[in-house]
Amino acid sequence: MLQIRKADERGRADFGWLDSRHTFSFGEYHDPAFMGFGPLRVINDDRVAAGGGFGAHPHRDMEIVSYVIEGGLAHKDSIGTGSTIAPGDVQRMSAGTGIRHSEFNASQTDPVHFLQIWLLPEKQGLPPSYEQKTYSPQERKGALRLVASRDARDGSVKVHADADLYATLLGQGEKAEHAFAPGRIGWVQVARGALVVNGVRLNEGDGLAVADEERIALEGAGPEAEALVFDMGR
């Protein structure tokens, strides 16, 4: 089963400084048909204007992954972590028993574009924690690079959820494949560009739910597509 979530059908919140597109129900946007997929609960496609950002706010019992597409995102939290997330970086924050953090555009002149991803943790009440790693374009070019996983294998960040997350960069005609173990489900999110997955064309912002498929074949359909691929338990 392949089900497309078209970019222009997502929920939207526009606050001037923030233009956010919601793949799944979030905030004031509610659609009972899109409450999440497996442990994947949120994919927000956020564009923050120069100097704008989210002031300190709380989270708990959620695995939050930030993936920057363009620009820089400045992060600070209540456990003492402070960093700037740039393209190629993957940030994981485990909210656990409770954490407060802020996220601001690191630039006063240029916008930042990033994906904010929430995964339901396998266990509640974990200690809050933070991790960030960088993956070069060469690691992702023409391949599916594991960037987050439950067991932190192959240099990926650790998520406390039944999910593997891969990042890829595919030029025109470049291909990558991923096989799913029986009972696993997947999600493909196109961050920019366009690609074809098992014959289905996906444009920038589109998502694709995958279930009961043995494998998916991805092919770049433009100058360069950037996408995330999730492999998850149900």
Distance CA 218, CA 136 (A): 20
Burial of 189 (0-12, 13-18, 19+ CB in 10 A): buried
Q: What pLDDT score does 150 carry?
A: 97
Predicted confidence band at 81 (pLDDT cuts at 50, 70, 90)?
confident
Taking phi over 0 as left and psi of -120 to 50 as alpha, with beta for the rest, 28 belongs to: alpha
For the cut 90, the answer to whether the pLDDT of residue 82 exceeds it is: no
pLDDT at 123: 94
Structural domain count, the chain:
1
| CATH number for 42 | 2.60.120.10
Q: How far is CA 133 from the centre of its chain?
A: 14
pLDDT at 54 over 90: no
Question: What amino acid is encoded at 5 in this protein?
Answer: R
- 33: domain range? 2-232
> What pLDDT, on the 0 to 100 scale, is given for residue 122?
95
Burial 166-179 (b: 16+ CB within 10 A, else e): bbbbbeeebebebe
pLDDT of residue 9: 98
Q: Comparing C-alpha atoms, which of 163, 225, 215 is closest to residue 190?
A: 225
- Residue pLDDT, tens place only, 196-229: 999 999 999 999 999 999 999 999 999 999 999 9
CA distances from 27 to 11, 71, 170, 217, 220 (A): 10, 25, 33, 34, 33
pLDDT confidence of residue 85: 95
The average pLDDT across 132-160 equals 98
Question: Cα(37)–Cα(12) distance, rounded to whole angstroms?
Answer: 19
